[in-house]
Structure 1
Amino acid sequence: MLVFALSAALAGARPTAGRASPRMLAVSDTSQLAQLAGMTVLSIDSGNLDVVREYAHTGFITDATTNPLFVSQAGLSGDAVYAAMVDEAVAYAQVRASGDEAVSLAMDRLAVNLGLQISKLVRGYVSTEVDVRLSFDVEQSLARARRIIAMYEEAGVPRSRILIKLAGTWEGMLTAEQLQREGIDVNITLVFAFIQAVVAAQRGARLISPFPGRVLDWHKARGAGPTFAPAEDPGVVLCSQIYAYYKKHAHATICMPASWRPSRGSAPEFAIDEIVALAGSDRMTIPPALLQQLAASEDPLQRVLEPKAAAAACTIDALGDGKVDEALFRSMMAADGCGPDKLAEGIKAFVADTERLDAAIRAKFEK
């Protein structure tokens, strides 16, 4: 039996780094969390250092993902630990740049500061996102990604431990292709359409993050459902198709679903429906509240996705003769419906988070 402290600051709560956790949660090696970790590499989706530490100590979590929301929450929380990260980022930028460039450098530095702390807590990948406002600018995205990696390496964290997160735009795919040539691994995020997954793999991205829960949201908003058997959930179907396509066509790109919803309705016990239906995925990134639910359950967990069986069942030939061009990508995205809608929505939300942090950093420079 593994026992670890579970912080009250779960997903969406204010970070509480450095403070004692108020209660304990026992996690057995027969829990659903342990069972899932035996078939899928698990990442924690959080920027809260206390929570990341606690789940990493179970031995079931190897990686961590962050996004602009987590960086913004850390930067604006007022907690002394995170405030120190902000102050260091501002001081770092002030002596190296001025004006808008200093602000962007401080924001990158803050993301790296958070990532550096997380890298001490998990043994695998740490994801750090390029400013989402650059999702349609290849050259600027390349410059920011290289700068982020350089700061990690200056701090002693090798690039092999970092995933640079880029939005699943056409420009994001081109950026990923160049970064992968330079030995910088990329996580293509905000994936809602099959064609995004195909192009990401063809361009050599190390990993993609499809969002089954948001795909389900899109379909339900258009009259589907209102509930689904988990295997028929549109987000689960998409992730299963991607997994099978990758196995059939021997793509090395990792499929790591993120963002979860209950397939069968709002009852608490349905919250992990999509996770259970995708058990066996290469990787998953899961927020603390759902990790807690998995840790609390001893129900048997069956493997659903298996490489050989998935490859054998896949009937989709390689698209674009192995290299989808821009015209086909944009055409298939437009035809998908969910893809462009949710990609635009996701970018817009992340931009809002980024701009709140931008304003706070600018205020620091003005003092």
Structure 2
Amino acid sequence: MKIFLDTANLESIKKYNDMGLVDGITTNPTLLSREKENPAQIMREIVRIVKGPVSLEVVGTTYDSMMEEAHRLKKYGKNVVVKIPMLPDGMRAVKKLKEEGIETNVTLVFSANQAVIAAKAGASYVSPFIGRLDDAGQDGMTLVREIVQIFSNYKFTTNVLVASVRHPMHVIEAGKIGAHVVTLPPDILGKMMAHPLTDKGLASFLADWEKVKKENPNLSF
């Protein structure tokens, strides 16, 4: 399972990319609006830093506006994946972009029917928003399970990209189901690395080593 970072924060991207944990990036207008830098500069820098797929989202809602934006966004780099909303005109754009060799990520997917439509249109990625479904009283992971099963049944090549991840258990469940990718905020990735027993064990090891040093003042290795 690949891990994408869902952020436009350059500091976080550099931090986790240096650890070798970032397989790709997803962004959206909301994430870009939270940063102080110019959005164009941010997108250009993200594409430079990260070698994997970088999803940059259109803001238009008509076929012509989405196509124009898609071609403009693609100029940021070869690894750009154009995020397209789940709309009728969006599916038309996805089909055309596939014909042009441009990868797409269909966003704001909330049903298996929408996922199938996106795959049929030629999407490279489909992004079910599980956290928002959970907030609405539905089970987001049930949707992921349905999409993975359907795609497997019919050998769709579209990747299932689990989005709107709210906690580390979402990542584990997505992996158990067989989702291809999860995209998560930096704080969730940080939580995945942490465990109180790790902290406790490390503190114990260091305390014991201090005792060894005191008993052996000339110790070197």
In the TM superposition, what is the alpha-carbon distance from 1:142 to its structure 2 partner?
A: 0.8
- 1:52 alignment counterpart: 13
Q: Deviations over 1:195-223 (max 9, x none)?
A: 11000000110101111111111126xxx
Q: Is the counterpart of residue 200 in structure 1 residue 154 in structure 2?
A: no
Letter in 2 for 1:216: D
1:82-231 aligned at under 5 Å gives the runs 82=37, 86=38, 110-111=39-40, 113-131=41-59, 134-135=60-61, 137-149=62-74, 151-152=75-76, 157-158=77-78, 161-219=79-137
- 1:272 alignment counterpart: 168
Alignment CA distance shift 1:120-1:143 (3 Å): closer
Contact 1:256 1:282 in 2 (8 A): yes
Between Structure 1 and Structure 2, the one with more strand by share is: 2
1:221-260 aligned at under 5 Å gives the runs 234-260=139-165
The secondary structure found in structure 2 opposite 1:127 is: strand
In the TM superposition, what is the alpha-carbon distance from 1:258 to its structure 2 partner?
A: 0.8
Q: Percent of aligned pairs with the same residue?
A: 30
CA distance in 1, matches of 2:54, 2:48: 10
**Which of 155, 165, 181 in structure 2 is aligned with 1:283?**
181
CA distance in 2, matches of 1:139, 1:197: 23
- 1:326 alignment counterpart: none
In the TM superposition, what is the alpha-carbon distance from 1:121 to its structure 2 partner?
A: 2.1
Letter in 1 for 2:151: Y
Q: Which has the larger radius of gyration?
A: 2
Alignment CA distance shift 1:119-1:148 (3 Å): closer
- Unpaired runs of 5+ residues, structure 1, are 1-39, 87-109, 221-233, 262-270, 300-367
CA distance in 2, matches of 1:284, 1:123: 17
CA distance in 1, matches of 2:113, 2:19: 36
Q: Deviations over 1:150-184 (max 9, x none)?
A: x32xxxx22xx111011111221111111111111
- Unpaired runs of 5+ residues, structure 2, are 198-221
Report runs of 4+ in structure 1 exceeding 3 Å deviation: none
Contact 1:115 1:127 in 2 (8 A): no
TM-score for both structures, normalised by structure 1: 0.51
Contact 2:73 2:80 in 1 (8 A): no
In the TM superposition, what is the alpha-carbon distance from 1:298 to its structure 2 partner?
A: 9.2
The secondary structure found in structure 2 opposite 1:124 is: coil
Kindly tell me the number of residue pairs found equivalent between the two proteins. 195
The secondary structure found in structure 1 opposite 2:15 is: helix
In the TM superposition, what is the alpha-carbon distance from 1:248 to its structure 2 partner?
A: 1.2
Q: What is the root-mean-square deviation in Å for CA atoms of aligned residues? A: 1.6
Q: Deviations over 1:121-161 (max 9, x none)?
A: 22201111111xx22x1112111211222x32xxxx22xx1
